[in-house]
Amino acid sequence: ADLEVEFVDSDSYAECIRLIDTYDIDLLVLDGEATPGGGLGIARQLRDELDETPPIAVVIARAADKWLAAYAKVDATLVHPLDPVTTGRTVADLLRERARA
């Protein structure tokens, strides 16, 4: 148990940006399929506009969309439906990597 996890969630683009601006976020897990402001767009915007961003994982509907995630400069992709073991491992790896940095 080397990780302690707390989370906040949002249901809109504006609220997501507000949370990022308000809190010290260690990891973002974004919905790449959300509309109108999806996780891929938010990820790309953050990477382009901020000097430092937390690691970003995006949930996508199809493995074939990994090229979109690469364009958005995300650190990891998760494919829906989420596998709990893969998701947990990915989240833990990204958090540990950030803690080492």
> pLDDT exceeding 90 applies to what percent of the chain?
84
Tell me the three state secondary structure of residue 79.
strand
Q: How confident is the model at residue 3 (pLDDT cuts 50, 70, 90)?
A: confident
b/e 51-86 (16+ beta carbons within 10 angstroms → b): eebbbbbbbbeeeebeebbeebebbbbbbeeeeeee
At 47 the pLDDT is: 96
At 35 the pLDDT is: 85
Delimit the domains of the chain by residue range.
13-100
Topology of domain 13-100, per CATH? Rossmann fold (3.40.50)
> Considering the chain, what is the average pLDDT of its residues?
94
The pTM of this model reads: 0.92
